[in-house]
Each structure stands twice: as C-alpha cells, then as structure tokens.
Structure 1
Amino acid sequence: MDSLTSDDLAIRPIRAEDWPAVKELRLAALRDPLAHLAFLETYEQAAERSDAFWQERAAGSGEGGTGARQFVAEGADGQWAGSVTVLVEEAGTTDWAGFPVERRQGHVVGVYVRPEHRGSGLTKALFDAALEWAWGIGLERLRLIVHEDNKRAQGFYRKAGFVPSGLTVPLPGAPEQTELEFVLERG
C-alpha cells in the first residue's frame, strides 16, 4: 500500500526491522511541546524502554500483523515525517481504561506529524491508509481518545469524519482532566 503525498512521502506500514525508526519517531513525538496533550506516556518513560520493547512493538504493529498496524510517511531519504497506529479491539474485551468493548473496532493511537510537515495534508494521507486497512480487515468502527484541550487535533478528527461519542475518560494521575472519545462508523 504505497501512495504519495504532495510532499513526495510514501505512506506504508512499518516492518519489524524498522524498530530503530519507530523508537526515534516516538521519542521525537514525546519531545513535541504539545506532547502532554497528545500522549499518555512521557519522553522519560519511553527513553528508558529497552531495545527489545521497541523490537516487539515494531513486530506487533508491522506489515502482516492483524492485531495492530502502524503506518508511516517516509521520505526518499528514509526520514519518517509522521505516523499513525490502529490497535484492534475485540468485542467482549475491555480497553486500556477498563471500559467494555462492545464490537470489533479499531483504536487510533500515536498520531504524530513532525512540525515541518504539519498543514501539508500528511495527517489525512496517514489516516486514509489507516482507514483503508481498518475497513479492509472488517472493523466496524474506529475510535480515538483526544485531550479536552487539544483543539487542533479535535478539529482534524472532525474534518476526517470522527464525531464525539459522549464518552469521557479521566486521565490517569490527573482525574480533573479528561480525554474525549471520537468515533467513526464504517459507512
């Protein structure tokens, strides 16, 4: 599944051997000034993880996997400009916050585009690849959780067709702040 954006970046699923780039992009995302609104993990927590963790993460969400898929935008120079991951949640299980999963769905996580590529249409291209994969494996809906104060992300998600479900999730360690669930039904 290769496609090009206007920035001449190829959108593709990661491969297991991409683990060093997976680690580098995640650490870059966690150094972003808005990381505290976008991610539940800190830079320090991620930086302490072993290479084995990153290898397992890349193998689990790489090309050929069915439980998750991470897509990246890769330049001709091999530099990654952005990423999005879809985790498959099976009906009858519980999600990361302890809520029941009522149907087979995807949970969009790890959305990040480097600052120099923001506003270029790259996030849309990444989401298009993620949606194609999710619908292609028969997921019934996609959902994501976004911080209540992350208005820029909320604006993009609405533009991409996601709508608030009404579910709010208190942040671990900061129950006075909440995350909002947005959903997109298969249509």
Structure 2
Amino acid sequence: MEYVIRPVRAEEWAKARELRLAALQDPLSAIAFLELYEKAVAQPDSFWQRRTADAATGREVVQFIAEAPDGRWDGTLSVLVEHPGDEPKVGKPASVEQTHVVAVFVRSEARGAGVAEKLIRAGLEWSWALAAPPVERVRLIFHADNGRAEALYRRVGFVPSGDPAPVPGNEMALEYEIRRQGVSSPTHRAPGATK
C-alpha cells in the first residue's frame, strides 16, 4: 500500500485525536509515551484543536501523518524544536540547536510496510531544512525494553548519544541521536509531503 506522508492540518484535529488515543491503547504505550489514555480521552475538544493547530504551523513543533489511499491515518510522528537554554520537555536541556522526535506510532495492521521509516525520514528532512538557526542534532528517547523501537531507530541511522537520558520515573530511558553532517545532510530534501 502506498502511503502519503505529510504534515497534519489544523482542521484535522478529530483524526489527530483518534490516532493519539489509538496509540495510547497500544500494548507498549506504558513505556513508549509519557501520557496515559485516561487523561488524554478526558481532554475537551478545545485541547485537541489547539494541539493540532500548533503542530500544523510547523514552527516549534510539527506532526506528520501516514495517510492510506482510503484516507485512513495509520501512523504519526511529531518533532519538537529545542533551543539551547530552553527548559526541556523531557531529558536534559539542549546544548545545540536540535529537534526531538516524539510520539512515533504505527497501527499494528500497518507495521512492517515501512511506514515508520517514512515518517522518521520526513521528520529528519523537516529538521535539516530548518534554517534559522540550522539544526545540528536530532534526538529521540525510548525505553530500553522497547526493542521494536530500538531496531527501527538503528535502521534509520540513529546511534546511542553516549549520555544518559534523565526521564522522571524512567531509569530505563535511552537517548539516541543523528548529528548533521557538514552543511547538508544526506537525508536533506525540501520539507513537505512525501510518498
């Protein structure tokens, strides 16, 4: 199946909500996400509208989705911009301009089709295309018991950062990174929809 990988649009908040709630019901959600289903499902529509609108701007956060030919969303990934000196949302403060890949999820029926790799590549392309100032590093944090995630991240080029990733209540957090190579990255392309 051919998926379109593209940024979310503000008016698609209901679909963004449905996919996030599906992610939070995944068997690995307890070690993959820093949010509980019970809290997320209780959020009002205004929360989801604001969250999706923020991601749709593509300034400090962007959310990519994997859209099937029938319009169903089978995967998602978000990327946060982190500036040196800013208070981190998770882990330690940034020492360089960087982005942070979070909320990676692919529905079980779509796994094994390369959807997650395509989502991550879109997030990397978006990160490397940021120009003011340019991103030097893309990082992600995952639980040491999430072997499925680790295999995926290694496949797309992430390597251990060499630093522990302090996550409150999660001493099993691992941090992986990809650093920008020179002026342009081998994965650098213009941002936007990809197939």
Alpha carbons 1:68, 1:87 under 8 Å: kept: yes
Q: Is the 8 A contact 2:91 2:167 kept in 1?
A: no
Match of 1:135 among 106, 128, 150: 128
Letter paired with 1:9: Y
Deviations 1:82-129 (A, max 9, x none): 011100001121212462211110000010000011111111111111
CA contact (8 A) 1:170 1:178 kept: no
1:146 corresponds to:
142
Structure 2 CA distance for aligned equivalents of residues 186 and 166 of structure 1: 17
What's the Cα RMSD here?
1.4
> How many Å separate the matches in 2 of 1:145 and 1:45?
22
Distance 1:48 1:150, change over 3 A: same
Q: Which runs of 5+ in 1 are unaligned?
A: 1-6
Aligned residues with identical type, % of pairs:
48
Separation in structure 2 between the aligned mates of residue 170 and residue 148 of structure 1, nearest angstrom: 13
Which gives a bigger RCO, structure 1 or 2 (Cα 8 Å, sep 6+)? 2
Structure 2 equivalent of residue 60 of structure 1: 54
1:120 aligns with 2:105: no
TM-score, normalised to structure 1, is 0.90
Matched, 1:21 2:10: no
Larger proportion of strand? 1
User: Letter of the aligned partner of 1:162 in structure 2?
Assistant: F
C-alpha separation in 2, matches of 1:108 and 1:98: 12
Matched, 1:162 2:155: no
Structure 2, unpaired ranges of 5+: 182-195
1:4 maps to none
Question: What TM-score, normalized to structure 2?
Answer: 0.86
- In structure 1, how many angstroms separate the alpha carbons of the residues matched to 2:150 and 2:38? 26
